[in-house]
Structures are given as C-alpha cells and as structure tokens.
Structure 1
Amino acid sequence: MAASSASLADPIVGQAIYPFSALVGADDLTLALLLTAVSPQIGGVLVRGEKGTAKSTAVRALAAVLPDQAVVVGCRFGCAPAAPDARCPDGPHGPHQPEELRAARLVELPVGATEDRVIGSLDLTAALSRGVATYEPGLLASANRGILYVDEVNLLHDHLVDLLLDAAAMGRNTVERDGISVTHAARIVLVGTMNPEEGELRPQLLDRFGLAVEVTAPKDVQTRTEIVRRRLAFDADPPYFAGRFAAEQQLLRSRILAARAAVADVDLPDGMLAVIARVCAGFGVEGLRADLVTARTAVAHAAWSGRRVVTKADVRAAARLSLPHRRRRSPFDTPGLDEALLDELLDGPDDEPDPTDATDPERPDSDPRDSDPRDSDRPHPDDPMPGHDQGARRDGAEPARPSGAGAHEAAPDAPSRPRPPAAATEPQSTEADEEEPAERHTASATGTAAAGRPYRARLLKAKGVGAGQAGRRSQALTTRGRTVRSTGDRVGAVHLPATIRAAARRRGPSGGRLDIVVGDVRRAVARGREANLVLLCVDASGSMAARRRMEVVKTAVLSLLLDAYQRRDQIGLVTFRGQAAELALPPTGSVDVAARRLADLAHGGRTPLAEGLLTALVTIRRARLRDPARRPLLVVVTDGRATSGPDPLLRAMEAARLVRADGVSSVVIDCEASRLRLGLAERLAGELEAEHVPMHDLAAGMLVDAVRSHTAARREDVA
C-alpha cells in the first residue's frame, strides 16, 4: 500500500483542506474510508502505518466530501429533522421543528482526553449556580452523524478505546454517573490512526475496528514525484489547488450520497454468505464479528460500485480490508493476508467462476478500485507474500512453525498453562563444567540463538506507590481503582461525600441551608495500578552461551516482553557483551519491535556487567526527563559474572550502588543453572536492593502446576 500525496506538512493551511480526490497511491486507504462513510455500521477504520504517510491528511480530507446534513436548530446532538432521536436529551423534536444545513463534522479526540470529556458528565456550573442536575455533552455527542478521529489511537487509554468502540457498534452513548442517567444517539464513523513503532493495540481492541489498512511510503519514483509535486502546489496556493479538484470533490460527494441511498436495496444472496463464511473460517479468525463486518463491507462495496447484488469481487474487496488485523493472536504475529489463499477460498473446491465478477473496461461507471483484476501484477501463488509466512497452508490452517523459530516467529497460540522455562529442563552439568573458569567462555565465537515459545511470566513490580499513567503493573494513585481519599484538584471524578463535608465545615455550626460553591468541590483519589518503563538489561556474553543458556535467556526475555505488552508498559532493551553495552531499543510501546531486536541479538565475548548497569542508568535518567511520572523497573538478566576490564566484579558492584542510589526499583533474573553455584547474581541483587528471581521461578504458576501434577499422579497410583 502506498502513501497518499499530502504527507509532508500539516493538511490544513489557513482554512483550506487538502482535497480527498487529490490523494495519490492510497487506493486501499481511500476505499476503506469511503466504504465506512457509505455504511457506518461497518464499525470504523484503523489506519496503521509508518510516520509521514498522510494518515491524518486522508482522514481530515474525508470530511470535506461527505454530504451536508440537515439538523434540528439548537439540538446539541445534531438530530436529523426527518428522523429525530426519540430519546434525545434536547427533545422531543416536533414534526415542524426548524432545521438548518451544516457540513459533516470531523471531531478530533486528543490522546489525553478524560472519560468525562468523551462521554459527557454532570454540568457543575448548572449544579452549583442553579441547583439542577443537567448533562453536559461530550465529544461523542458532537461527533453524532459525523467522523470521530483519534490520532495515535494506540496511545489512548484502553478503557476509552472500549467506550468509543462500544458507542460506534451500538450507535448510542449511555451515561450513568454522578446522578445523571442519559442516553443519546452516537452514530459515528470511528477512524483511528497509529504508528506501530509506538506500540500496538491489544488483539481484543483490534477486532473491534471494522476495517484496517496498512500504509507505507511508495517505492515507485513516479508516484513519489507526483506526491511531492501536488503537495508543493497545495502549499503554494491552497485555494487554487482546491479549485482544480472541485469537480472531482463534488463527484465523490454525489457518489457517496447515492451509495448511501442504495445500501438498503443491495441483495446479499445466501451463496455469497456461504462464501464469506468459508473465507473467514479458512483464515482461522476467531468469533463471528469478522463474518458480519465482511458481509456489511461487501454490501457497501456493491452499492459503491453501482451493483444491486453482491458478487465475489465485493467479497474479495471486503475481505482484504476486514480480515488481516483479525488474524493476529499475539503481538509477535505479522499482520497481513495471503491473497493467493483468499482467491482459492473465494472460488471454493468445486465452485465455478462467478461471471458477474468480471469488470467490463468499457462500462462508463467502472472504477479500477472497484474491480477484481486477475492480471500479471498480482503475485504468483508460489511467490512469498510480503509480510506473511511463506509456509502458509492453503487449507486455511495456521502455517507450520519451524522448530527453534526466532522471537518474532513464535507460534501465536499460547499453551493452556504456563510452560516452564527452558532453564528448568536443561541438562544437568557435569562437575567439570561447574568448575571451569568463566574465561573459557569469554573467547567464544559470536553467535545468535533462537528463542522458544514464550510462557506467562510472574508479576514483577516497582517498589512503593507511584502516581503514573493507569496500567496493570505497580501500585499507584491513579484515576481508576479504589477511592482512598479526596483532593481539591480540578481534575478527576467528583467525590460527593467529601464535597458535602467541605461545604458543611465552611457553613459552621450555625445551621441553615447548605450551599455548595466551587471551592467546596473535592475530587476522588483512587489507588490502582500504573504502567511502568520496563527496561531489560540482558547479559549477552560468552558465559551466557554455555549449555545453550542463551536460548533460555531469550525465551525468558520474550516472555517478559509479552507480559509488559499485556500490562501496557513501555519497554526498553540494553545488552552488554565484549567490552561495552548497547541500548538496543530505546523506550517504546512497540513490543513487536523489541521482539525483532531480541531475535537479532548476538552473544559471545566477555561480560562488561558494569557498563550494562551504567547504560541502563543513563537510559532511565533520560526517560525521566520525558515522562517524570512513569516509574522505571530495571530487570537485569544475568548470571552475575563480570569479566571485562580491571576489577570487573568490584566495578559492577559500584555501578549497582549507583543505580540503587538513584531510586530505581530493580529485579535480578538469575541465569546461573549449575549445581555448584557462585551466587554472584544474588550478590548483585543485594547491592541493588532488588528482588532476586532464579530463572526457573520466573514462570507464573509453576509451583501450582507442579503440585497439581504430583497430586494427579498420586491419584492415578491409588486408582
């Protein structure tokens, strides 16, 4: 997928917006946005792509081609005069209510928005000044019958994403809080954009978006040239450039209006429903949401193409947009769709080709984006698809995973119970191995080990109580959780009992009417959990390669990455070997990028433990400057040996004391596995005042599983 033409600057210059019809090379993106505009029931669009690919430009440009709307005058919820919402808080609206025309709205939701701002809340001004409980609408009310756009949706709080997706799916927003009980229409086209390098959405949230599109910068020189030419022309004279595309803009607007009117009359035959079910089952997507979204998208595509009956061409176009993001079962899976397999599933084992699929090039209303060309530009079925597993099976099952696959190629299906780390099952060493000096491994050749399947790691937490962004790891005072006290701050949910007590204290013992003023309002302070910066400091020296220990270490680190992803943490990776340490991955929210860096991690050489700790400390200090509220958790994965530089062990312990003095919470994952233990990692944990976790204790639930297995075996013996 290529990027659109307006990727070099802000899309709005003065009052001019880059024309949607002027976008170049973004066929999948523009088609997905147009289909969602035709049928909002599809459920919105998620646009994933690297920086500078005009994701925001395309979304903002869409609003300009949407038809104008008739609204009831004075209605804050934008009710349509012909079919007003019967439960509108500003209603009831009579049959002769005055109306007006307005442009379709594009409402942008900031990443830092609160829940009150999104769904609406109690109007404090009216409550305190007039003593009445009234509802103050939020952004969902403003976006009704329009577009709600969330830039960097992957950085939005999960519970806010849930609220948005629920409203988009049901078409209504219901508020039950602060003595307010309100429900109003929220028929929105939800569009989110994100850069995967900054973090991924959870699979559960990915599934809630109707369509998803991957955008990348074009490689074709002519396309890139045209993109820059149009962007420069727009920047030089926005009104003139917009005027050049006025006719195309009006044509798009008319076509959207016609397609909206035709959607209800499009026929979806049972045969096409069976094809949709076969395609979704063949790609192994979970649940039935994929089938529903694909069916709705196919109907919208038929209406957009001017057809009255859904064909396989419509199903194919719909599947390409509705299925790729639903095939991901873990953050390490690569999104995408095998189009050769899609063609086989569309045709079926015994089906005849659908004659209605052929697009007539002579037909005047034929659009290249609506057709299903089977030409030489399509990759051959035997060619590997970019971004997909080459071993994908044609029967629709998951592709076979080679033994010892890299971290980002790990099988997506987690075991039903935590799998013990490989360290717990590696062969016992001989006494000769236990007594051999560490120097034997320092001169070992550099190599790269593969990680095994990740397991569920135990919860590692920072010490004390923080005040960072709400998450799922360490204890903190956040906006969600159990209310522990109140404060006079202006942000947060109203703590009603504390507000009444403050007003009563101000009134004094004289009695009389209790009047609440703004200064009496108290906000709730809750104790919950926060997200942290989990910085992994991994020993990649030659000693870690002994008895294939590096494979065990990579599996453990991959498991910690998966745990950090599920708890919505930021992740960083520091490695040390040879003579120095390296920041392999600066703090980020993208666990799949971290997994790729881990897969490429080489091992060998001496052990500069001190350099690794000092590099981690510098990284933490820099991260604090950007986000002071996010507490770091340093996880050191090592056997504790230090063999690089003068007095290596002494320098390592001094570095540990510096980390401790900086107030960094730490955990040491002890990789030493021999029976004759040196205890260096445990000593390092003591200097760091860190939690010491042997590698075989890292997997959550191992002790419980062992007891259950032992009990089951005893019962079998008795039987």
Structure 2
Amino acid sequence: MRQVATPKGKPCATWPDALLIAAIFAIDPHIFGGVVLRGRHGPLSDAWLEILTDLLPEATPIRRCPLHIGDDRLLGGLDLATSLALGRPVVQRGLLSEADGGVLVLPMAERMQASTASRITSALDSGQFQLERDGLTSVLPARFGVLLFDESFGPEEAPPAALLERCSLCIDTDVLKFSDLSDDGPSLELILKARVQCNQITLSDPALIDAICDAVTAFGLESARPALACLNVARAVTALDGRSMAGLADITLAARLVLAPQALQLPQDTHEVQPQAEPEIQSEQENPPAEPTNPDQAEASDPQTDTTPPPEGQDLSEQLIEAVKSALPSEVIAALSTKAKCPTPRGAIGAGSGQHTKSPLRGRPIRSRAGTLKPGERLNLIDTLRAAAPWQKIRKSTMKASRSVAGPKRIEVRKSDFRIRCFAQPREATTILVVDASGSSAFQRLAEAKGAVELLLAQAYVDRNRVAMVSFRNEGAQILLPPTRSLARARRQLADLAGGGGTPLAAGMDTALTLALSEKAKGRTPRLLFLTDGRANIDRDGKAGRKTAMAHAFSAARAIAHSGIATIHLDTSPIPRPEAKDLAKAMGATYAPLPYLNAQAISAMG
C-alpha cells in the first residue's frame, strides 16, 4: 500500500506535494541541497516548517542565519572573552559549524549579501569549510541543507543564483490554501528507514539517466545539478514507498518536482508526425489482446512499478518533457514564451545604486584593516582586542618583571594590534539613454525612450540614480536631457522632440561617452544604454557615406570599450543582423535584440 500520496498537477501547488517535499528533504538535507519557500512568510510557511521539524531526528540542529551576519558569527573565529581570560587562543564555532548535520534557515534570502552566499554555497558543495581567521587555521565539518525563504517582489529582486541552483526543491506558499492543511505525511520511523535504504535504490532501466539529461537540456538548464537532483529525488520517493527499484513513474515525479520550478525555456517540439498509412500497417501486424490473461501481466500494469517500454513513437525523454510541461502553470508558460522572443541578457544593467567606494567615516561597515590610527579614522575596538588576545600570556610574562607593585589585571594592547574601521559608500548611478532618432521608426523609439525615462526616474530617489538622454539624427547628436532626478523637468524637456533624417551613429557615441566620462569624474557610476539598429550613414564630419560612417562608428565603439563603462546595445532592427552584434562586441556591450520596443523592457535593463 502506498504511504505517500502525490497527485498530479502544478509543481508544489498542493499540500500533499509540500508534505512529500518535506519527507524527501528530511531523509538527508545535505544531499538535496535545500528547499526554496517562495512567497510571503506566513502561517502556511510556519506550518510546513513545523512538520519538517517533526520529521527530523530530535537532536538535529536547526539554525537561523541573520540577514547581515558577519564572518565572526558565520564562520567562527577567536573566542575573545575566553582567550583573554586564559591567555591563549580559543576557537569559537560559527553558525555553519553549528548547523552540521542539520538545517540552516535563510530568511529574506533576496537581500543576502554576495559574500555571505558564497561562503554558504562553498560549505554546501564540500560539506566542510576551512577557517582561517584571527591567526587560526582549522577545517570544520558543515554538512547541512538550507531552507531558503524567497520573499522577492518583482524581477529586480532575487536570491543569489548560486544558492538557488543548489536547492533541488521549491514550494510556492502563495498557492497553498488553508483548507488543504493536513498532517497526513509520513512518520519519523518511515523517514529513518528510507534514509538507510536510499543509497541502495537502483534504476529499472539505465536509459532513464539519459532521459533525465535530455529533459534538463530541453528546459535550458546548463548545470548538472538538476539532473543529479532528479536522480536523488527519484531514489527518495522509491525508498519512501518501500521499494528497491526506481521506475519511470518515480523519475517522472522527480522531474516534475525538480525541473518545473527551474525551467528557463520551453522545449522545442521535435516530434515528427507519422504518416497515416503507418498506423494501419502496425494495426495489421500487431493484434494485442484486449485484456491480459496472465496475472503477472496484470500486476505489471501498475503505473508505479511499470517498467514496460514507452509507446512506439515516443521515447523516455519525450515522456519526461511532456510531464514537466504539463506541470507548468499557464502564466509560467506565457512568461517563458515571452522570454524566448525577447530575452533579458545575462549581465544586463539592472536597477540599483552604483559602485561602492571606500570611506573612513560613513557608509556600510566592511572589514577592518591593520594600521596606525590617524585623525578622522575610527578604531575597531573588538577587532583590536581580537588581534591582541593571542599574545597576552607572552606580553604579561615580559611585563611582570617591570612592575614593582602588583596591580589589577589589564590587557596589553600595542600599536601593531590596532584595527581601523573601513566603510563602503555607494556612488550615485547615472543611466544614459542614447536613442537613434533617425529614420521612419524614430517616433516609436523616442516615445518608448520617454516612457523608459519616466519609469527610471520613478525609482531615482530609492536607487540613487540619475537619468540622462542623448539623441542623434541628421548631422550630429545633442543632449536632450542632462543628468537629473526630476520627473517634472524630464517631461518638460522631452515634450516636443523631432525625429527622422540621417544616422550619425559615431557622433551619438562620442557625445554619450563624453557625458559618461563627465559623470564618472563627478564620482558617479555611468551606464550607457543604446537604442539603435547600428546602421550608420553619416560620419563624424557630417558627410554622407555608409562605409566611412561605419568605420567611424566602430572607432567610437572601441573608445567606449576602452573606457570600461558598462554598456548595453538594444538592437531595434526588425531582424537582428550580424553587423549589430559586431558593433556591440566592439563596444564591449551586452547585446540584446529587441525589435518590439516597450518602456518596461527598456527600464528593466537600464
């Protein structure tokens, strides 16, 4: 009798799916990496976490990682109080070491710092980490799984991609309903039994591994981790069911749970329609009985233990792909279809503040440095005591002879122990839209660029951004909108803009680069966003001639690449052309074909 019910449907959209994921993760959190709880934190998340806690052994550690945790608490280091008392260095365990054999909870992971995420992912990969801090060197075990709470709102927010890649399973808590709450999941005894049996599970058909790899590739996943996760989840489901061999149904269920939430594209339909005469020939040659007469054949027809080959014309890979596609919600399919037509380039310029600069007085605290305390700098007292603690026993023995009268115990601190606070202060960012206002489609480009400027300015105060706009047409380029945060000023200056004429692309690039370098000299972080088809016909001297104009454009593009300024080239041609890609490559820019302009897509990249 099957003990875990897993209805078909959307991935992780029902409470039985969530219960199954809790059971799978409880078998071995480190093997499955982690579980993403997507949605606003609420009673449903707490209820699921309570069920998971009941499925774990009583002594399993569960540690919550604060959002802005420091390295001293995350990795561990010198136990300052004990080291000062004993006069010798004493190691203090960090959060990663404390979570060994258990679960690490990551609330609000979309706001996690990249440095913290890199340390957690390193421990997830190796099951240990090397501590090298405060003069201490040690290798500590850290074999744990993570519960990643993703409360991001909108495409601008997302947890670190490295952490998401290592989380095999996902639950959408916004889809779950209170009416579905139940505690019909497996017991702790079943989890412990499955933990022992999981490593002994075999596959009924070696071709299932190839089918998993084909399905992973079809949905645009480049890493090998989703394929390994599918195999591990299938083994876990088989162990929970009390069987020793995983079949096609187990692999299909695992692919639905693992691949559907991670799909990056829709697979191409490569199934060829067979000629109409072929089924008739097959029907004449094959005359299967209507009902099985052998009891063994009837038992083999069970979908959970079915090891028969797939129907002719559809292999194992196609079955897995169709199963995952059927589990994708309609809104996800629509989003993936739109993404395929108008992709967002990797490394695109996103909303947010500019680069960070070091400051001795203000900003976000970063690691302290050794040095002499100068006027205007701040002493990091805790780090100074950490540097002095390991030397107390030696220093006290050398100072004991010079003391004529015994006094109270004190800490010997020297100039070499001083640690100076360092701060990182974000720069203001300036997004410069460079719009091709020439040709018949100039009015559409200008209209969408105006809309993008308004959307960018709406977030200017939050993201410390300024927005500027450069237009080029006829024989030259002009700065239509100087760098500003004022939405009213932008609307007033962009109210009446003309379009049409030649394409002086080199002049537009030179003007944009000059403006960007001016912003960089003022301490801001400039970003260039070009909206053009890349076909120039007016050179820098204002003369017509496509060959000379393109040569000048490539010369200006190389100057932009040499400046090191982040750049995106949005190709507005109806059909992307190789010349536009070559121009983007010369600029060192991210290339994105965007024949169907809209202000939302432009502002998302700017």
What's the TM-score bracket when you normalise by the shorter of the two chains?
Answer: 0.5 to 0.7
Deviation at 1:482, TM superposition (A): 7.4
Aligned 8 A contact 2:36 2:167 in 1: no
**Structure having the higher Rg:** 2
Q: Which residue of 2 aligns with 1:51?
A: 40
- Counterpart selection for 1:387 from 328, 332, 348: 332
Q: Choose the corresponding residue for 1:320, options 256, 269, 288.
A: 256
Shift in Å at residue 255 of structure 1? 2.3
Aligned letter for 2:148? Answer: G
Note the C-alpha offset of 1:511.
6.1
Provide the residue aligned with 1:62 in structure 2. 51
Output the CA distance in 1 between the equivalents of 2:133 and 2:324: 54
Rate the CA distance shift 1:707–1:518 in 2: closer, same or farther, 3 A: same
Say which of 465, 479, 503 aligns to 2:366. 479
CA distance in 1, matches of 2:23, 2:16: 11
The amino acid of 1:637's aligned partner reads M
Q: Which amino acid aligns with 1:191?
A: L
2: CA distance between counterparts of 1:213 and 1:468?
43
Q: Kindly state the Cα deviation for residue 110 of structure 1 after the two structures are TM-superposed.
A: 1.0
1:548 is the counterpart of 2:435 = no
- SS at structure 1 position matched to 2:203: coil
Q: Which amino acid aligns with 1:262?
A: Q
Question: How much has 1:518 moved relative to structure 2?
Answer: 8.7
Q: Indicate which of 138, 156, 159 corresponds to 1:201.
A: 159
**Cα deviation, residue 57, structure 1:** 1.5
Deviations 1:406-452 (A, max 9, x none): xxx34x5x6xxxxxxxxxxxxxxxxxxxxxxxxxxxxxxxxxxxxxx
Mapped to 1, the partners of 2:384 and 2:229 lie a distance apart of 36
**Residue 143, structure 1, aligned to residue 99, structure 2:** yes
Contact 2:18–2:48, Cα closer than 8 Å, also in 1: no
Offset at residue 59 of structure 1 (A): 5.1
Q: Secondary structure in 2 aligned to 1:107?
A: strand
**How has the CA–CA distance of structure 1 residues 461 and 288 changed in structure 2, closer, same or farther, with 3 Å as cutoff?**
closer
1:138 Cα offset (Å): 1.6
Q: What SS does the aligned partner of 1:68 have?
A: coil
The answer to whether the 8 A contact 1:483-1:526 is kept is no
Q: 1:653 to 1:358 in 2, by over 3 A?
A: closer
TM-superposed CA distance for 1:516, in Å, is 6.9
Mapped to 1, the partners of 2:174 and 2:559 lie a distance apart of 39
Return the alpha-carbon distance in structure 2 between the equivalents of residues 274 and 195 of structure 1: 35
Match of 1:115 in 2: 71
Q: Which amino acid aligns with 2:219?
A: F
Distance 1:118 1:517, change over 3 A: same
User: Is 1:259 aligned to residue 194 of structure 2?
Assistant: yes
- Aligned partners of 1:675 and 1:338: how far apart in 2? 38
Q: Distance in 2 between matches of 1:295 and 1:707?
A: 41
Per-residue deviation, 1:136 = 0.7
Contact 1:280 1:290 in 2 (8 A): yes
- Larger mean CA deviation between 174-183 and 304-313 belongs to 174-183
Once residues 382 and 126 of structure 1 are traced to their aligned partners in structure 2, the CA distance between those partners, rounded to angstroms, is: 55
Within the alignment, does 1:178 sit opposite 2:123 as a pair? Answer: no
Match of 1:125 among 81, 106, 129: 81
Partner of 1:157: 113
- Matched-pair contact (CA < 8 Å) for 1:47–1:215: no
Report the equivalent of 2:170. Answer: 212
Structure 2 CA distance, aligned partners of 1:338 and 1:676? 41
Q: Look up the SS of the partner of 2:69 in the other structure.
A: coil
Q: Alpha-carbon deviations, 1:210-240, whole Å to 9, x = none?
A: 333444335xxxx55x26xx7xxxxxxxxxx
Secondary structure of residue in 2 paired with 1:217:
coil
Aligned length: 457
| Deviation, structure 1 residue 139 | 1.6
**Paired residue secondary structure (1:286):** coil
Listed as ranges, the gaps of 5+ residues in structure 2 are 1-11, 272-296, 306-318, 474-478, 489-501, 531-555, 564-581, 588-606
SS of structure 1 residue aligned to 2:380: coil
Q: Is the 8 A contact 2:371 2:419 kept in 1?
A: no
1:560-709 paired onto structure 2 within 5 Å: 584=455, 620=461, 623=462, 632-639=464-471, 674=504, 702=561
Gaps of 5+ in 1: 1-22, 70-101, 231-243, 329-333, 343-352, 361-373, 393-398, 415-453, 470-475, 558-574, 586-611, 624-630, 642-648, 660-671, 711-719
TM-score (norm 1): 0.49
Name the amino acid aligned to 2:469.
V
Letter in 2 for 1:260: R
CA contact (8 A) 2:34 2:147 kept: yes
Partners of 2:214 and 2:138 in 1: how far apart?
42
1:338-377 to structure 2, matched below 5 A, reads 358-359=303-304
The Cα of 1:359 is off from its aligned counterpart by: 3.9
Question: Cα 1:535–1:54, aligned 2, differ >3 Å: closer, same or farther?
Answer: farther
Shift, 1:303, TM fit? 0.8
Q: Distance in 1 between matches of 2:529 and 2:240?
A: 58
Return the match for 2:25 from 6, 27, 36. 36
CA-to-aligned-CA distance 1:631-687 (integer Å, 9 cap, x gap): 82424335499xxxxxxx99x88978999xxxxxxxxxxxx9758989999899989
C-alpha separation between the residues in 2 aligned to 1:148 and 1:378?
A: 32
Distance 1:526 1:113 in 2: 17
User: Residues 267-306 of structure 1: matches in 2 within 5 Å?
Assistant: 267-269=202-204, 270-306=206-242
Q: Distance in 1 between matches of 2:428 and 2:32?
A: 33
Distance 1:401 1:691, change over 3 A: closer
What amino acid sits opposite 2:466 in the alignment?
L
Distance in 2, matches of 1:491 and 1:60, equals 36
The one-letter code of the counterpart of 1:200 is A
Quick check: 2:106–2:147 contact (8 Å CA) kept in 1?
yes
For residue 553 of structure 1, report the CA deviation from its aligned partner.
10
